[in-house]
Amino acid sequence: MVTARPRTWVRRRSAVFAVLGLGLIAAAAILVPMLRPPGPRPAFQLPVPCGEAWTLGTYPGHDDYDVDLFPTKGEAWGQPVLASASGTVTEAGINGTVGGRTPDNPDGPRGRGGGYWVKIDHGRRWTTLYLHLLEPPLVHEGQRVQPGDQLGRVGSTGDSGAPHLHYEQHRGFEKVETYFNGAPSGITRDDREYSVSLRSNNCRAGASETDQRK
């Protein structure tokens, strides 16, 4: 004689399978997009105001493809940092610790990591990072931004020796050479100290350079 299993046991087993199924669906929803190949490179622009010339540099130990940006004219402290392409903010806060370097105390204690920072997801597995901002970012997680939207101001928070913007472009799981206005920046390996100068084309459509700076 075959003994029928209690209905409660059957219901519990069904519930367990349902939970496992939902878990697998949720995991697939996260992992599948991450495993897809990255899409075409977005139309990245320099993360600084339209028409301005900035120096992009690196040095030994800085890490391949990392870019430090300094204005060619005027002080770096407080200069606007702009989104280099449209996307969604995924991180906006503190990376590591802030430290104590400010315009009034430029030789204050260093922090750790990137200090105040922003990370933007541009879709198709492309992201950009903006580090060492002067103060808490002007944007928040989940916010949609457009090219030229201000993210914060140049500072020297985190592990920074002088005010500058540390910037990176990532394709999927790898960091890659930065491109601006459709052309490679030329900042690649960190085997030596070198720099290039570029002019920003991060301009709102229909606005002159004078209007951009207002």
- How far apart are alpha carbons 19 and 34 in whole angstroms? 23
Contact between residue 95 and residue 113 where contact means Cβ atoms under 8 Å apart: yes
> 54-200: which CATH topology?
Glucose Permease (Domain IIA) (2.70.70)
pTM, full prediction: 0.82
Which residues are paired to 171 by β-bridges?
A: 126, 174
Q: Encode pLDDT of 20-62 as tens digits.
A: 655 555 544 444 555 678 899 999 999 999 999 999 999 999 9
Residue 24 confidence (pLDDT): 56
Over the range 190-213, which residues count as b (16 or more CB within 10 Å of their CB) and which as e? beeeeeeebebebbeeeeeeeebe
The domain locations on the chain are: 54-200
Q: Encode pLDDT of 147-195 as tens digits.
A: 999 999 999 999 999 999 999 999 999 999 999 999 999 999 999 999 9
Contact between residue 150 and residue 167 where contact means Cβ atoms under 8 Å apart: no
Whether the pLDDT of residue 6 is over 90: the answer is no
- Taking residues 73-98, report their average pLDDT: 98
Alpha-carbon Rg for the chain, nearest whole angstrom, is 23
Whether the pLDDT of residue 12 is over 90: the answer is no
Q: How many CB atoms neighbour CB 41 within 10 A?
A: 15
Query: 111 pLDDT band (50/70/90 cuts)?
Result: very high
